[in-house]
Amino acid sequence: MLRRAIALFLLAPLVLEAQSGGQAPAAPQITTAATAEVQLKPDRATLSFSVESRGVTAARAGSETARRQRAVLDTIHALGVNADQMTTASLQISPEFAYDAKPPRLIGYVARNTVRVEVREIEMIGSLIDGALAKEATGIGSLSFNSSKSDEARRQALELAVTKAMGEAESMARAAGGTLGPLIELVAQQSYVRPVAIDMASSAAMSARAMDQTPVAPGQMTVSAAITGRWVFIAR
């Protein structure tokens, strides 16, 4: 009888382990999420220059637009922008109709050429805008600022977010009557860089100010990071 009782006592842990699937109960955990932002001054910019022309034929409209856009690009290049910083963003030639009769009358063609320019010295932007307007650019837009130090700012934001999440986890652990244990998992969400975008005034309004350099204020840009962390909770 004694041997049977001892055998049952030794088998009991094995039976409990089998019933739980061979896994020990999970330790309590604390999960927190945090975000952080870093402000930095832009040192790069992108903007676009457009030229639009009309002609009685598509060839004439396209030729005139090409001539005027070449003058704009030559001016931008002379001001210090390299050729590899200029990219054709769009090129369109479309018919133009007059709707004073039925059917509508074809009165000519409109050609539009838009070039995107990367500016590595934002102090140049005012001069570039004024120079392009002087060479008959008909549209300037899509001006936005960014920074060559965005990656560094992202890492700083991640460090701040981790520190914030860990601090919150430690506070939760103390409030629950325990301490924060080892880190289980730390996941970074996709970081977000919020560039500075500026709405450009109409080219006509800017042309009226051609005597003075167009003022441009880059402001500040924001880089944000978000993380989620999990830690072991150690009860006292």
Query: In CATH, what number is assigned to the domain containing residue 126?
Result: 3.30.70.2970
Mark whether 130 and 60 lie in a shared domain: yes
Check pLDDT > 90 for residue 175: yes
Summarize the confidence of residues 63-84 as an average pLDDT. Answer: 95
The model carries a pTM of 0.67
Q: How many domains does the chain have?
A: 2
pLDDT at residue 8, rounded to an integer = 31
Strand, helix or coil at 197? strand
At residue 208, does pLDDT exceed 70? no
Say yes or no: 91 and 122 in one domain. Answer: yes
128: enclosing H helix or E strand: helix 125-134
With tokens 């001892």, the residue in question is 6
